[in-house]
């Protein structure tokens, strides 16, 4: 029983789970909501989440699943698209194997910072109901997620 409580406690530690909350469209700031439809008129199947201080719209455009992160004033902070796990660079694969050997990853997203053009890669785990995301640079360096 004590071990079960310890495992549950570790699973609930802050900073372990992705800090993303699903949002109804009416809870998205009007400037971010409007920017989505002005800048991405071809977007379909849009879902909104609150990720850190951004409002993230995930959508399909053709066969590809994409995302865009807005500030509350409608500025694009980052864009991204799904990619095959097998297409990840060798340094990323090495970091995942070395630091997360017991995790199963089911999704990878290539994310472009709209201000700097820098690329990061977000890999989501799929073995639990609480998704966790690992963010790495192309050379496999871990990027800590803010709490």
pLDDT in tens, 55-90: 999 999 988 899 999 999 999 999 999 999 999 999
What DSSP designation does 31 have?
A: H
> The whole model's pTM is what?
0.79
What DSSP designation does 142 have?
A: B
CATH code, 17-136: 3.10.450.360
pLDDT in tens, 27-51: 999 999 999 999 999 999 999 999 8
* The two three-digit tokens of residue 138, written as one number: 């192309």
Q: What is the DSSP string of 91-114?
A: HHHHHHHHH-TT--EEEEEEEEET
Give the start-to-end residue ranges of the domains of the chain.
Answer: 17-136
13: pLDDT strictly greater than 50: no
The SS3 of residue 86 is helix
């Amino acid at each position: 029983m004590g071990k079960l409580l310890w495992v549950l406690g570790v699973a609930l530690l802050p900073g372990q789970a992705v800090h993303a909350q699903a949002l109804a469209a009416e809870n998205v700031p009007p400037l971010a909501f409007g920017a989505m439809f002005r800048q991405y008129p071809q977007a379909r199947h849009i879902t909104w989440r609150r990720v850190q201080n951004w409002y993230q719209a995930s959508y399909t455009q053709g066969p590809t699943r994409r995302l865009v992160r807005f500030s509350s004033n409608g500025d694009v902070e980052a864009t991204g698209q799904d990619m095959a796990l097998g297409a990840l660079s060798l340094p990323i694969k090495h970091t995942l194997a070395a630091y997360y050997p017991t995790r199963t990853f089911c999704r990878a997203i290539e994310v472009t910072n709209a201000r700097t053009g820098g690329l990061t890669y977000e890999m989501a785990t799929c073995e639990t109901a609480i998704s966790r995301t690992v963010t790495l640079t192309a050379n496999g360096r871990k990027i800590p997620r803010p709490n």
